[in-house]
């Protein structure tokens, strides 16, 4: 069974702090994603990566950066946390198929509160 593990379930940070959210998957998936989930807005894609050291902006990349130094690990970085980044953050991974989509496997989420 695929496991996508996020390092923290709950995080509380101060405005201006640098925040790291870590995600690890154990199924050798090429693709990894960071979404944020807010009520009524669904899941919005922040960044994704389809290979080591590769990254692509999603729909809401402002205020975030990512790092993928190893295939199994995808990190989301908030350079200077702000209160509007309080949200549930979900990591996901999938196999890469050029002709067809493979299903996303999600982590259990990190609820980040920025005070």
Residue ranges binding other proteins (CB under 8 A)? 4, 31, 35, 39-45, 48, 50, 56, 58-59, 90, 94, 96, 98-104, 106-109
Q: Which is nearer to other proteins, 19 or 32 (CB)?
A: 32
Name 81's Cβ contacts closer than 8 Å, sequence gap at least 6: 13, 14, 15, 16, 17, 18, 19, 112, 114
Shortest separation between residue 60's beta carbon and other proteins, angstroms: 11
Q: Which is nearer to other proteins, 40 or 84 (CB)?
A: 40
* Residue for token pair 């198929």: 97
Least gap, CB of 16 to other proteins (angstroms): 30
Report in angstroms the alpha-carbon separations of 54 from 6, 33, 58, 68. Answer: 20, 12, 13, 7
């Amino acid at each position: 069974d695929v496991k996508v593990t996020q390092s923290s379930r709950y995080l509380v940070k101060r405005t201006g702090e640098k925040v790291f959210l870590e995600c690890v998957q154990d199924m050798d998936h090429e693709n990894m994603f960071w979404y944020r989930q807010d009520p009524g807005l669904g899941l919005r894609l922040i960044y994704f990566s389809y290979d080591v050291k590769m990254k692509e902006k999603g729909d809401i990349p402002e205020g975030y950066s990512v790092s993928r130094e190893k295939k199994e690990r995808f990190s989301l970085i908030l350079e200077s946390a702000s209160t509007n980044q309080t949200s549930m953050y979900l990591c996901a991974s999938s196999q890469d198929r050029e002709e067809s989509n493979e299903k996303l496997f999600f982590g259990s989420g990190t609820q980040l509160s920025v005070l």
